[in-house]
Amino acid sequence: MSERPSAPTGTPTGPRRGTATVLTLGVVAALAFMPAVPDQRSGPVTPDAAATPSADATDPTVTVLGDGSTSDTGPQPGRPTPVRLKPGEQPPQFVVFSFDAPTEDDNHLFSRARTSAKASGADVTFFLRGIDLLPATKRWQYQPPQHEAGTAAVPFPTDAQVRATLQQLGRAWLDGDEIADGFIGQFCGPKGGRDWSTADWQSEIGQGYSMVNFWKTGTGFTDLPPLPFDYQTDLAGGRAPCLEGRPNLLPAEKDAGWRYDASSPGGTQRWPTQTDGTWDFPLQRIPDASDAHEVLSTDRTPQTYQNAFDRVYHGSRAPLVIDTDLDPRHAPELQSAETTMKDLCHRDGVRCVSFRQLADWLDAQDPTVLDRLRALGPTSSPNWAAAVGP
């Protein structure tokens, strides 16, 4: 078997359904259901079928899509309408909580993060990896760039874990959370994202679409209801494994119609910029707990996050990005994120939003005002009448 499928031909035009759509259809058509391999992982995770969110196919407002894996149920509940700043108005303090690797396993960290966000009034971003919906017994369907078919740098989930993850995805979307792309195989370094061409990234993106849009075909779980959202049009951005390969990744993301990329490492706490029309939402360099050094804004302590928040909340109001890996080894860091959400999200002027919601708000602003905001240092004491003036 070849290492990756050949590129489809006849790419249609359009800002939203470009190469990714063609790759989706091409990969789905090419998926071969290889002989099952023994599942070496165990896990008694059992979805609560009675509580699984579903799209009622008898509801005239619901359109079931493709093989029944996804559906169009209308606008996402609770998604705010962005409003342009008025002259002299102080910007909101945006805080973005994002979570990598949302597999619902026996540790239940995905559901824990989701329910914590809901309790704190936060809309968050989950970077779903295509592998989260591909059981180990079906792993040969994945054809990673520059690697053997059916391989990945992280374990494939069990059938029960995929079922439980699907349940949590539907609930997260209904809560107002964003389902973004964390890519599939998590390959880093040589022959990983660092070495991938734009065509490699296009293959990874296309297969990722397939694994979500056609999870019933890929898993055989035809007894489950469709997800209550259209992933093909809902997907707005992604974050590359190990934050690698961005120069070749950006053209692939742009071709797919994505609005933002969160793969930059170590940006300062400043208002976001765009690269060729794509919003750049990097992990940030923030003050550590001692306030003497700067560290990346991922998997940190509540005091570290508090220091980072304070310097922009009382300064430039640049968005704060906090990222947490939902790997069981990072459970203490999830507690830090939960504590921070509970503490910050109800404060005056604070909005805990997803990356997509942040992009929505930025798109609605006066570009001249955004240029003035970008010129501010994190600890500035702005004259808002001038910074957000006419």
CB 327 within 8 A of CB 101: yes
Give the pLDDT score at 386: 93
Give the pLDDT score at 21: 42
In sequence order, the 6+-apart residues with CB closer than 8 A to the CB of 33 are 138, 141
Token output for 70: 């996804």
Give the pLDDT score at 27: 42
Give the pLDDT score at 54: 53
Give the pLDDT score at 324: 96
Beta strand pairing call for 278-280 and 285-287: unpaired
In sequence order, the 6+-apart residues with CB closer than 8 A to the CB of 27 are 5, 143, 203, 206, 207, 210
pLDDT per residue as tens digits for the range 37-82: 323 333 344 444 434 455 555 577 899 999 999 999 999 999 999 9
Flag residues of the chain having pLDDT under 50. Answer: 1-52
**Alpha-carbon distance values, 183 to 3, 97, 101, 128, 242 (Å):** 17, 18, 10, 7, 11
pLDDT per residue as tens digits for the range 288-323: 888 788 888 988 999 999 999 999 999 999 999 999
Q: Which CATH superfamily is domain 91-387 in?
A: Glycoside hydrolase/deacetylase (3.20.20.370)
Q: How far apart are CA 294 and CA 177, in angstroms?
A: 29
The one-letter amino acid code at 72 reads D
